[in-house]
Amino acid sequence: MMNAQSEKNSISNCLHVSSAPHIQSEVTISKIMWTVVVSLLPPLIISIFIFGFQTLIITLVSVVSCVVTEAVSQKMLNRPVTIKDGSAVITGLLLAYIIPPGVPWWLPIPGAFMAIYVTKILMGGLGYNIFNPALIGRAFLMATYPVALTSAWLAPIRNGSIFTYMNANVDAISSATPLYVLKHYGMAALIEKFGSMSVIYTDFFFGFRPGCIGETSAFLILLGGLVLLYKKYISWHIPVSVMGSTALLTWIFGGESFFTGNPLVAILSGGVMLGAFFMATDYVTSPNQKIAQLIFGIGIGALTVLIRLKGGYPEGICYAILLMNPVVPALDQWFKAKRFSEGATQ
């Protein structure tokens, strides 16, 4: 009897049920988080180069605000301070990356409070939040400071770069993003401002266009995403399904007045790539199963296109991810591994 009880206790001690992220290797959560931080630094470097030094100040304010908010909140609630794991730093970086480069330097502070304290800490901490913290912070700033979030756009600094956009006469779009131009004036107006489709593809890919601080360079975002894929910290299912569905649905429903059915422009403009690689793949707010991840990504892409085409707001990736976040538990339940399903055999 004692042997049976000891064996039962031994098995029980080996079984631990916890919230995501679930790490089943020697790789720690902290190591993953800091790798993501490093992967996110190149877009910041190019944003300093093309928008000016103020983007670094805004980003530092955002990161420091998130870290301080997390530390103070955990202290006040008598919880262990976990700022060394890097999750608050990622939230701060992403929050800064999805706001315009011309906003006041202090603007990320209220966003950081909403992202960390309300969305993360009050939900129970890392692993318990339903929504992506950085995106909630951004949505809060959009609701409280709509003028700054929709008008503080800057044109890339022209300094003799080999890129045509840096030398072209594009003053007319210095206060409007390409998505705004597409939304209200169509593809013809965008081509007129940039000169040709080849210039659009080149400058959008390398990041020489108006946009949020960290979303403009598709090349550097892709590079960081490939690092995470190589390290197997994320899988291809969500990024590919987000970008693929966005491109396909834009091609089908884009029409003459918006993207002219151009799937490549749809992906390179706005924050689709940043959202696909670094926000939709968040361990806590994304599904675990591969099929569920594909459906999750397709849903994000579909909502992004719907908001862009039918909504009054030219961008849609932020709200698309937030709308899909609450669906994650259902997706994991519907597509859970067979060995955990009701019909699984012992």
DSSP secondary structure, 280-321, as one string = TT-STTS-SSHHHHHHHHHHHHHHHHHHHHHSSSS--HHHHH
pLDDT tens digits, one per residue of 226-236: 999 999 999 99
Residues of the chain with pLDDT under 50: 1-2, 8, 11-12, 159-174, 345-346
Q: Say what the pLDDT of residue 164 is.
A: 38
Percent of the chain's residues with pLDDT above 90: 62
**Per-residue pLDDT at 189:** 84
Q: What is the pLDDT of residue 178?
A: 87
Side chain identity, residue 115: A
Annotated domain spans of the chain: 29-151, 234-335
| Residue 142: predicted pLDDT | 95
pLDDT at 17: 52
- Give the model's pLDDT for residue 182: 85
Phi, psi of 245 (to 5 degrees): -70, -35
What integer pLDDT is reported at residue 195 of this predicted model?
Answer: 82
CA 136 to chain centre: 11
> What is the pLDDT, as a whole number, of residue 103?
95
Q: How far apart are CA 336 and CA 328, in angstroms?
A: 11
Give the per-residue pLDDT at 5.
52
Three-class DSSP category at 268? helix
pLDDT score for 262:
85
